[in-house]
Amino acid sequence: MTERIICRCNDVTQEEIEALIDQGITDIEMIKRLLRIGMGPCQGRTCIPMVVSILARKTGKKPDEINLPATRIPVRPVPAGVLVGEMEGDGDEE
């Protein structure tokens, strides 16, 4: 059987998600922390809706009954050049 990748950013499979749910972990925030879903470059745009669907199917809940994981934005925006080492940032630029 072919593995179904749910989170492409972190190569998380449907089987891995379902295994956690079968172990009793049904909180999407905990699944996120354990498997790193939604923490890649896409920030969960693709995988979070699929994980919600899997959770709903496996738990018998409606998708709108499942709380989405917390979104964490940067405290202060940083120019991309600083992150890739093309710019120096001393933290005082506005």
24-39 tens-digit pLDDT: 999 999 999 999 998 8
Calpha distance 66→28 (Å, rounded): 8
- 25-to-35, 47, 90 alpha-carbon distances in Å: 12, 17, 42
pTM of the model: 0.72
Contacts of 72 (CB under 8 A, 6+ apart): none
Q: How far apart are the first and last CA of the chain?
A: 53
pLDDT surpasses 60 at 94: no
Beta bridge partner(s), residue 7: 12
Domains of the chain and any CATH numbers = 5-83 (1.10.10.1100)
Q: What percent of the chain has pLDDT over 90?
A: 57
What is the token pair recorded at 94?
């506005």
Across 35-59, average pLDDT: 92
Confidence grade of residue 89 (pLDDT, cut at 50, 70, 90): low
